């Protein structure tokens, strides 16, 4: 008799687990206009930044200074770098995305007007605009 009750309980527990797994499996994250998943993450920052030259190799002289509070990136590039053809490379927190998107080589030659990029969090509710200040190594 007791054995039957135990079996019944185990069966119910298994059924509950299966239902739970099914429910999780069926949960659909919404998709944004870029076809990317909108998640629940609210973190919104740049964790690394680099500039690549025409040969797709880094042109920075040292690790960039990224201030996630002031939302600034200070990077020094080698002397003689072609500033009109640099490919910015951002590393963002999980699920975040960048606006505008990086689509190719970018002109960074106007040092007086630094480029700005906005990081959008995974839940698409937090937006932080970073300013990229580029300086050239002294010859």
User: What is the C-alpha separation between 120 and 10, in angstroms, rounded?
Assistant: 46
Q: Which stretch binds other proteins (CB under 8 A): 7-15, 56-64, 66-74, 113-121?
A: 56-64
* Coil, strand or helix at 48: strand
Cβ atoms < 10 Å from Cβ of 116: 12
> Nearest approach, Cβ of 73 to other proteins (angstroms)?
21
Residue 127 interacting with other proteins (CB under 8 A): no
> Nearest approach, Cβ of 16 to other proteins (angstroms)?
42
Residue 33 interacting with other proteins (CB under 8 A): no
Q: Identify the burial level of 42 via C-beta atoms within 10 angstroms of its C-beta, where 0-12 means exposed, 13-18 middle and 19 or more buried.
A: middle
Residues 69-98 binding other proteins (CB under 8 A) are 78-82, 84-85
Instruction: Give a three-class secondary structure readout of 64-132.
Output: CEEECCCCEEEEEECCCCCCCCEEEEEEECCCCEEECCCCCCECCCCCCCCEEEEEECCCCCCEEEEEE
> Nearest approach, Cβ of 108 to other proteins (angstroms)?
13
Which CB atom, from 84 or from 125, has the smaller least distance to other proteins?
84
Exactly one of 23, 34, 56, 112 binds other proteins (CB under 8 A); that residue is 56
Residue 53 interacting with other proteins (CB under 8 A): yes
Binding site for other proteins (CB under 8 A): 53-57, 61, 78-82, 84-85, 107, 137-139
């Amino acid at each position: 008799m007791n054995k039957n009750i135990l079996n019944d309980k185990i069966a119910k527990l298994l059924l509950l687990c299966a239902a739970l797994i099914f429910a999780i499996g069926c949960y659909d994250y919404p998709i944004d206009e870029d076809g990317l998943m909108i998640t629940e993450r609210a973190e919104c920052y740049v964790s690394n930044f680099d500039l690549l030259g025409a040969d797709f190799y880094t042109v920075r002289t040292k690790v960039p200074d990224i201030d996630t509070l002031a939302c600034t990136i200070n990077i020094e590039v080698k002397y003689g770098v072609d500033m009109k053809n640099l490919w910015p490379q951002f590393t963002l927190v999980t699920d975040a995305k960048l606006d505008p998107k990086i689509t190719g080589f970018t002109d960074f030659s106007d040092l007086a007007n630094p480029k700005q990029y906005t990081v959008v969090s995974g839940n698409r509710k937090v937006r932080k605009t970073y300013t990229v200040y580029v300086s050239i190594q002294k010859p």
